[in-house]
A and B are shown apart, each in its own frame.
Chain A
């Protein structure tokens, strides 16, 4: 089946630095990928839709300048958390929906200290 690989699985960074999270579709092409944020014991909250070759679509309340998304190829989308603060600490998950069946990356636990 389709596989989505997300890297890194865990990252700790200092306040004020930037962190890049990669999401790759390994055996299919994904023109669209989705980025979610999940707080402890809560559901997945859609942050943005990543579109290959064009600008990402952000959900209301998500800061575009803080969460930069780049989808430069059909198999790679990246989320960069810029000038990270402790409140950005969370679990981030990417997803793609080939053939109307969603596949998820393993998730990235970001801790900002």
Chain B
């Protein structure tokens, strides 16, 4: 069974600063995908960034980047130049792409507050 662990229930960062959210996972699979989702107060789940496990290069999306360490099973999210709109719950998620099963496994989330 796959597990995803987010060890930081809450974090805060000053506007324009950089923050890193941590995520570790446990799996015996080799082919999988990792995601960071943002859930603002509206509760709509928004995809922030996606990483394929077979790719060594870390994914980046504008101010968002990840540090993917496959051997260590670590997948942290770095938010640069934090903005007030980044305030949200952030969920790390894992999906295994084998055997026709595409079930997402979520971490418990990190509540990020961006302080003006």
Which residues does A use to contact B, with CB under 8 Å?
Answer: 32, 34, 38, 41-44, 46, 49, 91, 93, 95, 97, 100-104, 106-107, 109
- Of the A-B pairs whose beta carbons lie under 8 Å apart in the complex, a sample of 15, sorted by A's number, is A43-B106, A43-B108, A44-B91, A44-B106, A46-B103, A95-B45, A97-B104, A101-B47, A102-B95, A102-B104, A104-B44, A106-B43, A107-B43, A107-B44, A109-B43
The residue that B97 contacts in the complex, of A42, A91, A100, A107, with Cβ under 8 A, is: A100
Which 9 A-B residue pairs are closest in the complex by CB-CB distance?
Answer: A104-B45, A97-B102, A43-B108, A43-B106, A107-B43, A43-B109, A44-B106, A100-B33, A106-B44
A91 touches B93 (CB 8 A): no
Q: Which residue of A lies closest to B109 (CB)?
A: A43
The residue that A49 contacts in the complex, of B50, B103, B108, with Cβ under 8 A, is: B103
Which B74-116 residues have a C-beta within 8 angstroms of A? 91, 93, 95, 97, 102-104, 106-109, 111
> Cβ of B111: which chain A residues have Cβ within 8 Å of it?
41
> Cβ of A46: which chain B residues have Cβ within 8 Å of it?
103-104
In the complex, how many angstroms separate the beta carbon of A1 from the nearest chain B beta carbon? 9
A102 touches B43 (CB 8 A): no
Q: Which residue of A lies closest to B6 (CB)?
A: A43
Q: Which residue of A lies closest to B93 (CB)?
A: A102
Q: Which residue of A lies closest to B52 (CB)?
A: A100
A34 touches B103 (CB 8 A): yes
Which B21-58 residues have a C-beta within 8 angstroms of A? 33, 35, 37, 43-45, 47, 50
> Cβ of B106: which chain A residues have Cβ within 8 Å of it?
43-44
A101 touches B108 (CB 8 A): no
Most buried by A among B33, B45, B50, B97: B45
In the complex, how many angstroms separate the beta carbon of A104 from the nearest chain B beta carbon? 4
In the complex, how many angstroms separate the beta carbon of B65 from the nearest chain A beta carbon? 18
In the complex, how many angstroms separate the beta carbon of B55 from the nearest chain A beta carbon? 13
Q: How far is the CA of A66 from the CA of B76 in the complex (A)?
A: 38
